[in-house]
């Protein structure tokens, strides 16, 4: 059977198309069942995230029309899907799965979430009996390689997104970030990401301030925080150890005087501030105050650029790990094929031996002397085992196929060819 990986991702399809090709969690069991019914698909798994929808399958026949299947399932026109859909076969499919699991094929290189998403895709396929032993083994091998990439390289060691970099900076300022209080100003996508990252770090308190309380409340509710309007920032600032701001305001929302007053109330306990907004939300003069650590989006980008360079170096190391794993997988596959051949040959010889044994036992029952029976059995068995190889060797010699003859000597007599001996010297 042949491994197939097919789908669309952030490099081949616009967000609008990816959204329409996404599979919601409740529909995946039915989708897997439908996939398994397609001619040619023996085993299947389905990965669907905001950045990709991919089908992993083992084929026991021709490649089915997956574009048509996707279009039928999601009620889409076929042209844009066919233009965006890619197919990988055999080792290329396995390489693709390993690159996806390792974060090398992600929008943000090295991001760790996709490995968890692949594990969930595997678990769903397993639960719905869409996997057999072979595809399950391929997934396990893929997870093992991805773990090695994470362990042996720095692919995910340094932040390469502005939101994550802001939280990473905070971790360097505070020895125990879990005991801090954070004030987030704004309610856009960037602040939402920062809120999630800080929540993962188990900060003590999260406050989201925004012009409209409803939107601030949506983000705060997601991370177990509280929401306030912008006018309440001066009071909240007195409790905040971390301040991250990213609004669309054309003028600063946080001035030097407000921060000075908050510092006095805090008895000059330090405040870590990150201004992600362009134009800036926090007056530059705030950075001149003692006990304030103010970073701008430019400071973050400088660190991110260096981290991207480090991740690119780690990515090269990861690709080497994947290539080595592919070589080992191919070697194991070839060895498995040899085992099948050996099993068939062993069965063939066993049938010959059984027939000779049956004949020998019959002669013994007739009273023929045991030594004569055993000698005849040995003679017949050797001749019958060697008959097939003898015919083939004479044919190879007659066709002057010297390379095949040398290989036969290596297999039958365990003799190395002259070229192999030279290679050892």
Answer whether 46's CB lies under 8 Å from 124's CB: yes
d(CA 156, CA 218): 29
Coil, helix or strand at residue 95: helix
The pair of structure tokens assigned to 230 is: 């912008």
Q: Compute the half-sphere exposure of residue 389: CA atoms within 13 Å on the CB side of its CA.
A: 16
d(CA 321, CA 153): 10
Report which of 29, 67, 70, 23 is spatially closest to residue 47, judged by C-alpha positions: 23
d(CA 411, CA 396): 15
Name residues whose C-beta falls within 8 Å of residue 261's C-beta, 6 or more positions apart in sequence.
Answer: 234
Question: Angle 370-398/402-413 helices, nearest 10 degrees?
Answer: 150
d(CA 337, CA 343): 10
Name residues whose C-beta falls within 8 Å of residue 173's C-beta, 6 or more positions apart in sequence.
Answer: 270, 272, 293
Task: Tell me which long-range contacts 265-273 makes (C-beta under 8 A, separation of at least 24).
Answer: 265/238, 266/238, 269/241, 270/173, 270/241, 271/237, 271/240, 271/241, 271/242, 271/243, 272/169, 272/170, 272/173, 272/174, 272/241, 272/242, 272/243, 273/242, 273/243, 273/244, 273/245
- Which residues lie across from 113 on neighbouring strands? none
Report which of 346, 321, 338, 336 is spatially closest to residue 133, judged by C-alpha positions: 336
**Annotated catalytic, 71?**
no
d(CA 389, CA 409): 11
Alpha helices in 277-296 (DSSP H): none
Q: Please tell me which residue in 15, 19, 33, 50 is annotated as part of the active site.
A: 50
Task: Name the DSSP class of 49.
Answer: -
Residues with a known catalytic role = 50
């Amino acid at each position: 059977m042949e491994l197939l990986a097919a789908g669309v991702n952030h490099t081949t399809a616009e967000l609008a198309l990816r959204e329409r090709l996404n599979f919601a969690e409740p529909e995946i069991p039915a989708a897997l069942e439908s996939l398994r019914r397609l001619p040619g698909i023996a085993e299947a798994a389905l990965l669907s995230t905001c950045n990709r929808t991919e089908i992993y399958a083992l084929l026991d026949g021709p490649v089915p029309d997956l574009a048509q299947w996707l279009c039928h399932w999601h009620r889409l026109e076929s042209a844009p899907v066919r233009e965006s859909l890619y197919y990988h076969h055999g080792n290329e499919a396995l390489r693709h799965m390993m690159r996806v699991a390792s974060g090398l094929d992600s929008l943000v290189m090295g991001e760790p979430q996709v490995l968890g998403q692949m594990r969930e895709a595997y678990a769903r396929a397993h639960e719905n009996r869409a996997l057999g032993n072979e595809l399950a083994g391929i997934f396990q091998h893929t997870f093992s390689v991805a773990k090695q990439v994470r362990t042996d390289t720095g692919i995910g060691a340094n932040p390469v997104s502005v939101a994550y970099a802001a939280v990473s900076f905070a971790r360097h300022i505070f020895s125990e970030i879990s005991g801090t209080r954070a004030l987030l100003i704004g309610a856009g996508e960037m602040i939402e990401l920062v809120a999630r990252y800080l929540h993962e770090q188990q900060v003590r308190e999260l406050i989201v301030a925004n012009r409209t309380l409803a939107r601030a409340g949506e983000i705060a509710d997601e991370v177990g925080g509280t929401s306030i309007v912008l006018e309440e920032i001066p009071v909240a600032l007195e409790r905040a150890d971390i301040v991250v701001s990213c609004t669309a305001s054309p003028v600063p929302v946080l001035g030097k005087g407000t921060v000075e007053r908050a510092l006095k109330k805090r008895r000059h306990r330090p405040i870590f501030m990150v201004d992600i907004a362009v134009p800036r939300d926090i007056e530059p003069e705030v950075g001149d105050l003692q006990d304030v650590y103010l970073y701008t989006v430019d400071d973050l980008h400088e660190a991110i650029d260096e981290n991207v360079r480090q991740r690119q170096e780690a990515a090269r190391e990861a690709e080497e790990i994947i290539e080595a794993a592919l070589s080992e997988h191919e070697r194991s596959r070839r060895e498995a094929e040899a085992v099948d051949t050996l099993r068939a040959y062993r069965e063939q010889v066993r049938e010959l031996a059984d027939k000779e044994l049956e004949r020998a036992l019959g002669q013994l029952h007739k009273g023929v002397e045991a030594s004569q029976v055993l000698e005849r059995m040995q003679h017949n068995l050797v001749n019958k085992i060697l008959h097939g190889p003898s015919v083939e060797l004479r044919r190879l010699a007659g066709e002057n196929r010297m390379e095949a003859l040398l290989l036969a000597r290596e297999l039958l007599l365990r003799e190395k060819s002259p070229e192999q001996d030279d290679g050892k010297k």
